[in-house]
Amino acid sequence: MTTIGFIYPDHAAEDDYPLAEQLLGGSDAAEGDIRLPVAHIYGTDLHAVPELLDLGSESRLAEGAGLLARHRPDAVVWACTSGSFVYGWEGARDQADRLAATAGVPASSTSFAFVHAAQAIGVRRVAVAASYPDDVARLFVDFLAAGGVEVLTMSSADIDTAAEVGRLAPDAVVDLAVTHDHPDADAVLVPDTAMRTLGEITAIEEKLGKPVLTANQVTLWEGLRLAGTARVVRSLGTLFRPGR
């Protein structure tokens, strides 16, 4: 049994994780038992720098790690992109290191998951389809650049709160990704864990004709990577397919 714990801010699209657990354990996945417990921490869900710095603070993540402890996770991931990249590359590294020390297992965040996933599938130049306000989205662009990922174009939907993002209809999620591609981009990145995306990845990739990396998708993949476990799940996109 492999257990990967996720610390998730407030409530929005956390039902992507039970869906992922089902996909990983079903006929669409390689054999093996995977558990994906989610611990919620609470602050404001506003996409604004001061609030995001508070949301990703050491004390809040320590609270999340404490809630996950009973599950005895093999790895822990801070499932929040903006609450990690807002600290910058070095700050986000320190954030993950402190979380690992508190949890006593390997730890990471969604921001690093994007960089690691891009590296894994050979993606160097991307388009970013962000739901955040522009000033927050630009911090994600800076983070990717620090990780060696070039952003050719960035769009910001200027949605202020995670709750609003979580209410986006599936068609709106697909449209956001597809309409903000760049012809020279190797992939499109959709960075908000508040957005339900796991059920839409196949449709997005079919329309794009290239990989899409979404926040909850890469967060799941990062947890598996930290736990030393690989899974093939065709419905979760290029990142989870063999022979990529």
Q: Is 80 exceeded by the pLDDT of residue 27? A: no
Question: In which residue are the tokens 């999620």 written?
Answer: 173
Residues 140, 130: contact at Cβ < 8 Å? yes
Euclidean distance between the first and the last CA atom of the chain, given in angstroms as a whole number: 27
- How does pLDDT run across 182-230, given as a tens digit for each residue? 999 999 999 999 889 999 999 999 999 999 999 999 999 999 999 999 8
Our CA dihedral for 83, 87, 89, 94, rounded to 10 degrees, sits at -90
Residues 184, 201: contact at Cβ < 8 Å? no
CATH number of 2-240: 3.40.50.12500
Residue 162 is predicted with a pLDDT of 62
- Backbone phi, then psi, for 51, in 5-degree steps? -65, -35
Secondary element (H or E) of residue 93: helix 88-103
pTM for the model stands at: 0.94
Residue 159 is predicted with a pLDDT of 76
Mean pLDDT of the region 10-24: 90
- How does pLDDT run across 33-89, given as a tens digit for each residue? 899 999 999 887 777 889 999 999 999 999 999 999 999 999 999 999 999 999 999
Q: Which two tokens stand for residue 11?
A: 């409530």
Residues 233, 29: contact at Cβ < 8 Å? yes
- How does pLDDT run across 142-171, given as a tens digit for each residue? 999 999 999 999 988 777 676 777 677 889
Q: How far apart are CA 84 and CA 64, in angstroms?
A: 15
Secondary element (H or E) of residue 176: helix 170-178
